[in-house]
Structure 1
């Protein structure tokens, strides 16, 4: 059953119960009031007639009157003082009765106090009121018989009217409740439709927030949930795409050395070579194996880094890090004829010392490959940013976003000639993320490149040297 229907039914049931209760209460009060009025009128009528008759009898009746004369006088006076609803009895004898009812059968009065009874007689509802009166030691009974059928008929008609009015009220309330409930719950139906769309893979839909009530808050929560789901799905898609590209690039990178190994091995097996040719083939196989080994080591390092999200960092002075990097790069820089210039105003940096040193060694190695003999490479630590700058060939802006992708190489022939595998910057990017930092690359072709590790990103910690 739909929610709007449940709410509407509950509202209709409540309206029905309340309307019925009010109608019954009004009906009972009104009916009882009308009945009491009819009873009071009948009792008053009976009391007046009984008192008038008794007074007249006592005034006119003489002791010389015999029983027959007394009864004749009683009948005469009742005829004068009574009406079509009165009756007079003496003992069991009916002296005067203009009605069709024998009241003594229903109300055998035995005392002078007024009594009454309501009885259904011949499809009519009759009210019989009576009392006893003693005149000259003779006991008489005076009755008033009133037809009060109209009172109960009025109550029934009033009940029918209340029922009709209640039915109209219930139907109107039901229609209004359905309309209002559907209007109020329409945003929930919209949420349901959007939920179905998300379940079917459509993640871009959002609901419009019209009111700032509980349903509006639910809509806001839904939009946040949809945004989170869409972001997560996009991340999964991006990750799947990266893995596909990674495997494609890995396959491509392995294909070249494996082809060389296989070709040289087949040559050694199938062809009679001179000693020099055999040595060249073996050297080629060794170089290809070395490249595969280096590639596997870098891959393993990259995988380990991506899994090491809870690495323990400790405070290390930036000067110590720079000294480690200088010592590690000194020989390669000397061979290439390059100079490393450093500057530092940072204090402590939260780091894993060996990993962060490896990051900057990689960056300086890349800078050295892009530089000319005699160039200066700068390693600067300032304001939460440690950067490596070279004045080499530079990189086109269109290539910058791809540099941290595994196996991506701007100049593949030069990279392979230098013994690279295209994983250096990917490793650097992972190391930076482990330290809560960002890797930012700025480059201008023909002028040089600056790679910065920004430690003031969320989660990174550093301290200025003068603090």
Structure 2
């Protein structure tokens, strides 16, 4: 266009806009730019003033930039699609990852439910080394401890129930005899011989109840585990009670032999006497007339071993792991005749525990029994020097 705004040259194929803001205040050697949307096209208008032969002309160049905008829209759509696909893949991956994590937790939950229902042997089957694997490992350790504790509690409960049942049974027999004879004497015409027999039975059963109560009391006291230990020669302790042991053996015409090596032990003297009396009493019940019971003290590598050896009827293998249970009797008829209640070896076991000693039994039927009481090194002080 010239100065009079007349078109000098134009190759446009569309109607030029009537309002052209880019021409306002357009100076010489200035170029103004503007974008316009015309018929679904985006066109870049550039305008400038040029002097040619002292005449000013307005030049306007137009470039269709629609494709640039379309490319941008296409790019937006592409990136949106990429974002959607990426989000979907991310969700899919996270689903499987979380599924893998929660599967382990679900296993822990299901195992906990099974254990809560009473199956304490159930364990979590996980071998991963991540945090969940460590949790499963610790969970299995906890379950093992719980199972062991429950097993111990059940065993203790069974032992207590068996103890109560046996105790009730042991009380019932002498009480029945005492009540029966007392009632018989109360309702029968006086006869000195009959009354004397009845009183003897009542006295005998009463002594039996007294013995039972004393042994039960000793078992209860031994559980307190609060005793003062002093140094004593075990052989001297046996020598003190040897006359009483000989008196016990005289009734059955059994000989008691002692073979004691010198040496001192840190022990509770009265409890050791109870231990020896009960071991010898059991040996006497198993022995026949003219047999021998040997009490032997031997020292080996600083350990002291008390042996009680008899030549009696022995103990069958199936009974040897139960003989230390309260009221357990291998031969009930023989023990009943001997006025026993099956508490002697249980009492011995408790005394041995107080002294950190171990009781070992070696027996064969009809070939006698050897009971060893082995005292730990920490409690022994042989003559000739103290071993710490």
Q: Residue 272 of structure 1: CA displacement?
A: 0.8
2:305 matches 1:386: yes
2:243 matches 1:330: yes
Q: Residue 121 of structure 1: CA displacement?
A: 5.4
Q: Residue 128 of structure 1: CA displacement?
A: 3.1
Q: Residue 164 of structure 1: CA displacement?
A: 1.6
Give 1:193-342 correspondences, 5 Å limit: 193-306=110-223, 308-309=224-225, 311-312=226-227, 314=229, 316-317=230-231, 319-337=232-250, 338-342=255-259
Secondary structure (helix, strand or coil) at the match of 1:234 reads helix
Distance 1:256 1:412, change over 3 A: same
Hey, what does 1:398 align to over in structure 2? 318
Greater Cα offset, 138-147 or 250-259? 138-147
- The alignment of Structure 1 onto Structure 2 pairs a total of residues equal to 375
Query: C-alpha separation between the residues in 2 aligned to 1:127 and 1:312?
Result: 109
Hey, what does 1:113 align to over in structure 2? 30
Q: Residue 262 of structure 1: CA displacement?
A: 0.8
Residues 22 and 33 in structure 2, CA contact (< 8 A), matched pair in contact too: no
Q: Residue 398 of structure 1: CA displacement?
A: 1.7
1:419 to 330, 335, 339: 339
Q: Which runs of 5+ in 2 are unaligned?
A: none
Q: Residue 177 of structure 1: CA displacement?
A: 3.0
Query: C-alpha separation between the residues in 1 aligned to 2:170 and 2:180?
Result: 16
Hey, what does 1:358 align to over in structure 2? 274
Query: C-alpha separation between the residues in 2 aligned to 1:252 and 1:343?
Result: 40
Greater Cα offset, 364-373 or 398-407? 364-373
Residues 316 and 364 in structure 2, CA contact (< 8 A), matched pair in contact too: yes
CA RMSD of aligned residues (A): 3.1
Greater Cα offset, 175-184 or 247-256? 175-184
Q: Residue 335 of structure 1: CA displacement?
A: 5.0
Query: C-alpha separation between the residues in 1 aligned to 2:221 and 2:246?
Result: 29
Q: Residue 197 of structure 1: CA displacement?
A: 0.8
Query: C-alpha separation between the residues in 1 aligned to 2:101 and 2:185?
Result: 83
Distance 1:328 1:106, change over 3 A: farther
Show CA shifts across 1:236-255 (max 9, x none): 22122212211221121111
Hey, what does 1:7 align to over in structure 2? none
Residues 26 and 32 in structure 2, CA contact (< 8 A), matched pair in contact too: no
Secondary structure (helix, strand or coil) at the match of 1:461 reads helix
Give 1:126-165 correspondences, 5 Å limit: 126-134=43-51, 140-165=57-82
Q: Which is richer in helix?
A: 1
Q: Which has the larger radius of gyration?
A: 1
Residues 336 and 368 in structure 1, CA contact (< 8 A), matched pair in contact too: yes
Q: Residue 200 of structure 1: CA displacement?
A: 0.5
Query: C-alpha separation between the residues in 2 aligned to 1:114 and 1:345?
Result: 126
Q: Residue 131 of structure 1: CA displacement?
A: 3.4
Query: C-alpha separation between the residues in 2 aligned to 1:106 and 1:447?
Result: 129
Secondary structure (helix, strand or coil) at the match of 2:359 reads strand
2:290 matches 1:370: no
Hey, what does 2:370 align to over in structure 1? 450
Show CA shifts across 1:220-240 (max 9, x none): 222222222222222222122
Show CA shifts across 1:146-170 (max 9, x none): 3433322222221111222222222
Secondary structure (helix, strand or coil) at the match of 1:402 reads coil
Residues 360 and 388 in structure 1, CA contact (< 8 A), matched pair in contact too: no
